[in-house]
Structure 1
Amino acid sequence: MNVKPERVFLILCLIFGIGFLLATPIFQVPDEPDHLLKSIHISKGEILPEKSMVFVSSYPPVPYVASASVIFVGKLVNFHSLDMIIYFAKLANLLLYVLIVYSAIKLTPVHKWVFFLLALMPMTLYEAASLSADSFTIAISFLLIALFLKFSFDEEKNELNTKYILILFFLGLMIALSKQIYIVLMLLFFSIPFYKFKNRRQMFSSFLVISIPLLLIIEGWGFVIQGAYVPVLPEISFHGQIVFMLLHPIAFIQALLHSFLHYAQYYLVSFVGTFGWLDNRLDTPLPSILVYIYLIVLILVSLIDNNDFNINLNQKLVYLTTFSLSFLSIFVLEYIAWNVVGSNIIEGVYGRYFIPIAPLFFLLFYNKRFKFNSDKMGIAIILFSVSILSISLYLIIKRFYIV
């Protein structure tokens, strides 16, 4: 019996994704009203945001193309039920997520089951079946990571030609026009072996050809929307916080450590699965024991989900560096955008923000020491995933419909 992770993912994601979608009332996914408003603006061709205290309004348009298209068609045919349009828009996001992640799992030569577990993690699926920009961002990040792994370990790809460079650029462009913080993933370029280029000079020049235009696009978007986001409190200042961090780096490090100590449990819970509004702590999380079990299973699968490929120390250093820089960048961005100048704790960080870069963390556990029957492992993972998703669906239904 040859169990294909991507095929099982396709089936389970559609079944439970639609279940999550139908069971979750409108606007019960974090920031969903803001994402709907953004989709409506995009559907009208209003790409550039007006001044707003809603940070989502400053996002680039790409993550909203699917939902905005549904809203556009709904208005075009004069469909009167806004609720139905919203559900169809959420379905469009889910279907796009399924398509992209299916491709990522099929494409990656290593850790297919790790990708499977991360893509079907309750928090991931909850976001995927919503209007959130996270649906597209997670999917495209997984696909980009999978492509880098393909180029690194697939011996059929002996040389990275212009075609492959353009594909990497396109995926990088999708991130640059989604949530730009994850553009750090382009550093995975240096995990590709040197022998797949004519020489080191070609490798660095190829990286620059990809990265410089992407950085210019990100800077261009930032320039165009400058001043569009108005902080919710007058004490919040982008410029002031940056100056504070430069002048008081120790104070920022202390705020970072304080945040880890204070919110560590919630970061883990909101990474694996919690349902309903997170911002007001009105959400219904998975029981802590299930959160820890899921994380332990992810680590165990990372250790035994191996094959003939060898990930060397230099490549793991690239994965660690890319993950660490992305991880730190998330905290820096939230510190600048959401916290008063000089705050001693960083508010506004949720575990779901780390899902797009999570495959890199678990790649650090990859090794060839442990051997396990792949079919038996696959069946065990499928049963585990079905069990956790069934419990999650029950919690969603109980949260919103059972008194």
Structure 2
Amino acid sequence: MRQLLASLLRAPFSAARLYLFFASLMVVISVFFTPEGMTPDEGPHFFRAIQVSQGELTGMRKGNQSGGMIPSSVLPALISTVDLIGHPERHFSITSFDQASHIPWSQTYDFIDFSNVAIYAPGGYLPEALAIRISRLTGLSVLQTFYVARLTNGFVTILLCTAAIALSRRGTAWLLVLASLPMTLNLAGSCSHDGILIGLAALAAAILTRHTAASRWSTGNWLGLSALFALLAMAKPPLLLAALLPAAFARRTALRPLLPFTLSLLATAVWYICGIAPFKVQFLAQTGVSDSGQIRWMLLHPLKTLAVTLHTLALYAPAFACQMIGRLGWLDTPLSKQFYVLTALVLVLAFLSGALWKGAAPARQERRSVLATLAIVAASSLGIMLSLYVIWSPVGSDVISGIQGRYFLPLLPFCALLLPAMPQAGRLAPGLARHQISVALLAVFLSIDAVTLGHALLARFW
């Protein structure tokens, strides 16, 4: 027995397998414990995925609305939970669910307005769209298809994140904790494309952790990395700046590291011309919101714009942090204060883990690369905030409206590039014993994580 135990301990515990187990459990919990439509904008995201599954890559404009032609039976199948939004005292009705679960896909179509989602690029919806297409062909009902789409999104996301954890040479613990946050996995187990985007960002970051100035990657490798960044930038244009990160790790004379940014810029420009500009409608015009008016105001008042950004952060930074960790439902399902504190502590320890271990210090990141990464992540975060200032905030408002902490989750994996390199991919710490201890401690955290997620969803909706 002792020999068996000793041999098991000599083999490194797999952080990727640990994540895969707990993330799979948490995705299943999210999929089946969260009523349909009870993550932000999940209905519109499902409509957009249906649209893509029908071969319609762009939205459709109808007057001052933007959306698409969706089977008439979809809305009645999903509408039974609308009265739960913003009402934590209300709970899910099994009777309504049972009635809705038998509604089939209709052969008639209606125009449905989902203006805030219709302009999103189709890339992040492809797995879900394929699942919807197959489900319709096999005769599943609308609601059954909805849950198949959720499961597809969830498992594609965790496979992307698992690959990232297995490949990463820097910040593996950081990536693992980010990928296991209740918010991350609740988004993954929904019909939103946000989980897929977080997974793509984690994989792109993990691949970059393997790159150094001396690396000699083939053009094919660079094109693959470019595809990841292009998918991110087309879905969320402020993430375009993240495609500059490969150039920060390359020799100054190298040109191929510029491929991710160049191709992402081209793809984003094409999508803007074909998929955004023709279908973008003005949001909340009656409240003083004007995209063009806000842009003019920002250009005339750059210092005031910066002051508005700082003022917004001063007011809401703690709320954004809690939302990133997990404020579920339509931001009406908080987790316990103790869990927020614990998760914040684990995130800090995961980020600093390379510096905390004494002896056998791993290779530090170059100062130039650290500064470039910090600048790009900060600029991308600012881009996210200012884009929301343009499309959701009244002209000249003293605070930015519409920001949610989850919007920053696709950026955080790139902070792994700041951290020291480990001797082997997928390692949490230098040295076998330290790695084993780290994996064991993370297993304890992930157990708490899964229980917290399940309890929060059960208490809120059931």
Task: Give the superposition deviation at 1:183.
Answer: 2.1
The structure whose residues are more often helix, as a share, is 1
Instruction: Tell me the number of residue pairs that the alignment of Structure 1 and Structure 2 aligns.
Output: 385
Q: Which moved more, 1:382-391 or 1:125-134?
A: 382-391
Query: Could you list the per-position Cα deviations for residues 98-131 of structure 1 after superposition, in whole angstroms to 9, with x for gaps in the alignment?
Result: 2111111111112211111100011111101111
Q: Which runs of 5+ in 1 are unaligned?
A: 195-199
> Counterparts of 1:219 and 1:367 in 2: how far apart (Å)?
35
**What residue is the counterpart of 1:352 in the other structure?**
406
> Counterparts of 2:353 and 2:42 in 1: how far apart (Å)?
38
> Counterparts of 1:165 and 1:54 in 2: how far apart (Å)?
34
Task: Give the superposition deviation at 1:259.
Answer: 0.9
Task: Give the superposition deviation at 1:364.
Answer: 4.2
CA RMSD of aligned residues (A): 2.0
Task: Give the superposition deviation at 1:67.
Answer: 1.2
Q: Which runs of 5+ in 2 are unaligned?
A: 1-8, 67-113, 356-360, 423-428
**What residue is the counterpart of 1:264 in the other structure?**
317
Q: Does 2:346 correspond to 1:297? A: yes
Q: How does 1:124-203 map to 2 (within 5 A)?
A: 124-152=184-212, 158-194=215-251, 200-201=252-253, 203=254
Equivalent residues of 2:161, 2:203 under 8 A apart = yes
SS of residue paired to 1:271 = helix
> Counterparts of 1:329 and 1:288 in 2: how far apart (Å)?
30
Q: How does 1:2-401 map to 2 (within 5 A)?
A: 2-51=12-61, 52=66, 54-79=115-140, 81-152=141-212, 158-194=215-251, 200-201=252-253, 203=254, 205-224=255-274, 225-234=276-285, 235-278=288-331, 283-305=332-354, 308-361=362-415, 364=418, 373-401=434-462
Query: Could you list the per-position Cα deviations for residues 32-66 of structure 1 after superposition, in whole angstroms to 9, with x for gaps in the alignment?
Result: 01101101111111111123262211000011111
> Counterparts of 2:166 and 2:24 in 1: how far apart (Å)?
17
> Counterparts of 2:14 and 2:241 in 1: how far apart (Å)?
30
> Counterparts of 1:305 and 1:84 in 2: how far apart (Å)?
45
Query: Could you list the per-position Cα deviations for residues 284-322 of structure 1 after superposition, in whole angstroms to 9, with x for gaps in the alignment?
Result: 111233212211211112222466322121121122012
Task: Give the superposition deviation at 1:271.
Answer: 0.6
TM-score for both structures, normalised by structure 2: 0.79
> Counterparts of 1:84 and 1:101 in 2: how far apart (Å)?
26
> Counterparts of 1:162 and 1:388 in 2: how far apart (Å)?
40
> Counterparts of 2:349 and 2:326 in 1: how far apart (Å)?
19
The amino acid that maps onto 1:354 is: F
Structure with higher Rg: it is: 2
* Identity rate, percent: 28
Task: Give the superposition deviation at 1:174.
Answer: 2.1
**What residue is the counterpart of 1:197 in the other structure?**
none
Runs of 4 or more, structure 1, over 4 Å off, are: 362-368
TM-score for both structures, normalised by structure 1: 0.90
The amino acid that maps onto 1:218 is: T
> Counterparts of 2:321 and 2:236 in 1: how far apart (Å)?
21
SS of residue paired to 1:342 = coil
